[in-house]
Structure 1
Amino acid sequence: MVAANASEMTYHGTNTYLIEAADGLYVLDPGPAEDEQHFDAIVSAVGGRGAGIIVTHHHSDHFGSVSRLRKAIGGKVLAAANFPEDTFLPDIALSDGDHVAGLTVMHTPGHASDHLCFRRDDRVVFTGDHVMTWNSSIVMLPDGDMAAYCRQLERLAEQDDLLYLPGHGPVLAEPKAYVRKLLEHRVRRDQAIREEIAKAPATVEEISRVLYGKTEKWLAWAAERNVEAHLDKLMKEGCVAQQGDRWVAV
């Protein structure tokens, strides 16, 4: 099921999955609060078999309709133990290695500090926004963490998974090579940033303009957020330093 919230950041919309378990149906990422038709479709599909709602992370395009859906279908809401929304308290806090609805929980911070992936025993993984098949994920400070994102890509690349079911975009078969490509892209981006500021100190906007070349306002904004996250990673690694609004190589 796909929510009708298509955009430059969500592709055709948020993917919602219904997961069959011994105690009923779990809804994974029910989508935004504004999509009434999608909400009604979920309620209809679940019927009276609602066992719970599983959330990959707190971003509104995945989590927005959770409170209302909990009232409509019953069951408990399951989200990361470090779920950062202080206006909502999940019923069950999930940590890395937990098991729920036939899934193994993987805490995969990076895109969001509370991001979770869920792996079935048959090596199918619900990847949320950590790995998407239509675009690379945005990593935005302060909740996002580029170093953590790369570590979790490495973790996924070490697994022998068969299929990814992402939060946006189509399914991905034989995903290992694709994950390696995503990780290599981030490594190249680190190197390109270092090379660019080695020429002369530069602002985030200047670096982004050279490396991404985005002119559309929203895409340029997203590119700048990724540059900031890369710079934060490189600064923690001792490779760059900030001088006012400019960045320099060290």
Structure 2
Amino acid sequence: MREAPPPVGVPLPAAPGISRIVAPNPGPMTGHGTNCWLVAHAGGTAIIDPGSDDPAHLHAIRTAARGPITHVLLTHTHRDHLSGARPLAASAGAPVCGFRNSASPSFTPDMALDDGARLAGLTALHTPGHATDHLCFAAPGGIVFTGDHVMGWSTTMVPPAPDGSVRQFLDGLARLRALAPSLLLPAHGPAITRPDSCLRGLIAHRLAREARIRAALGPEAAPLAELMRRVYRAIPPALRRAAELNLLAHLEKLQQDGQAVHGHDGWRIAPAPPGAPDHTPPA
């Protein structure tokens, strides 16, 4: 699901009381830029993921806010979400709110949020996987702000431990499905108007990727570079590092599931338990 480049610095309505301003930070991992979400509530406006610290961008947010900016919320502390938080909060006199255990050693939230915390009409949902401190925010009417956990324009990069986890990422997708949301508003790309179809597709994609990686493993250990060659037919240079991290994260899950073994010379398929049928493909 892609969209034409949206205007930068212009409030774009998404639902009653909710609009986005796209930050001027486009790139291979951010698409057209980070969506800064403005959420009106009884006390003013909550801001989710200011993104860039560009002065014109922050001015556009302040101008578009309905009433005072009461909270600056972070889905997680990756730079393309965090950069504008402190300067915007300082200018508005509002707290920066994020998960209680920050993944960034240089950042501590003013207001630490636990899973289930409620503020500004929103409920925080801890959804690690892409980042250990990742939060989604559920709003009334089945609307969920999904940060980088769910995006329609691209699959999410899931890094290996200690920064990420494929198992936790899949658990988070299942949790969001169980909410039966009506609208997903991601941190990059357009609104997702068919949430269940999107979530089912993302889960299927991850499981298919896992199956492909498992099929690439053999009884002889292979280094990561060789597995990259087997799993990814072609990858743009700008995305290669992200693909390597994704591959490692999936290999870690296979190891946790007892299906892969890692040694000094690389990764191999785990031996079948005694008495189990041998499904190893012929050489």
Alignment of 1:61 with 2:67, yes or no, is: no
Q: Does the CA contact (< 8 Å) of 1:47 and 1:73 recur in 2?
A: no
Q: AA paired with 1:91?
A: D
Q: Which residue of 1 aligns with 2:245?
A: 225
- d(CA) in 2 for partners of 1:54, 1:72: 15
- d(CA) in 2 for partners of 1:227, 1:174: 28
1:104 deviates by: 1.3
Q: Which residue of 2 aligns with 1:107?
A: 126
Alignment of 1:42 with 2:61, yes or no, is: yes
- d(CA) in 2 for partners of 1:77, 1:242: 41
1:194 deviates by: 1.1
Q: Which residue of 1 aligns with 2:194?
A: 174
Unpaired runs of 5+ residues, structure 1, are none
1:199 deviates by: 6.3
- d(CA) in 2 for partners of 1:245, 1:136: 30
Q: Does the CA contact (< 8 Å) of 2:103 and 2:131 recur in 1?
A: no
Q: Does the CA contact (< 8 Å) of 1:30 and 1:65 recur in 2?
A: yes
- d(CA) in 2 for partners of 1:200, 1:163: 46
Q: Which residue of 2 aligns with 1:196?
A: 216
Q: Does the CA contact (< 8 Å) of 2:30 and 2:188 recur in 1?
A: yes
Deviations 1:165-224 (A, max 9, x none): 000000011211211111111111111111111264322222222222234222121111
Residues paired across the two proteins, number: 249
Deviations 1:10-46 (A, max 9, x none): 110000011112221111100023x332122112223
SS in structure 2 at match of 1:122: helix
- d(CA) in 2 for partners of 1:125, 1:226: 25
Q: AA paired with 1:231?
A: L
Q: Where do 4+ consecutive residues of structure 1 move more than 6 Å?
A: none
- Percentage identity across aligned positions? 40
Q: AA paired with 1:25?
A: T
Alignment of 1:76 with 2:95, yes or no, is: yes
Q: Which residue of 2 aligns with 1:10?
A: 30
What does residue range 93-242 of structure 1 map to in structure 2 within 5 Å? Answer: 93-141=112-160, 142-198=162-218, 200-242=220-262
Q: Does the CA contact (< 8 Å) of 2:142 and 2:183 recur in 1?
A: yes
The one of 44, 48, 54 equivalent to 1:24 is 44
Deviations 1:56-108 (A, max 9, x none): 00001011111111111111111001112232221111111111111111100
- d(CA) in 2 for partners of 1:50, 1:129: 23
Q: Does the CA contact (< 8 Å) of 2:40 and 2:66 recur in 1?
A: no
Higher gyration radius (CA) = 2
Q: Does the CA contact (< 8 Å) of 2:45 and 2:66 recur in 1?
A: no
- d(CA) in 1 for partners of 2:43, 2:156: 33
- d(CA) in 1 for partners of 2:89, 2:174: 35
Stretch moving more, 162-171 or 228-237: 228-237
Q: Does the CA contact (< 8 Å) of 1:214 and 1:220 recur in 2?
A: no
Q: Does the CA contact (< 8 Å) of 1:234 and 1:240 recur in 2?
A: yes
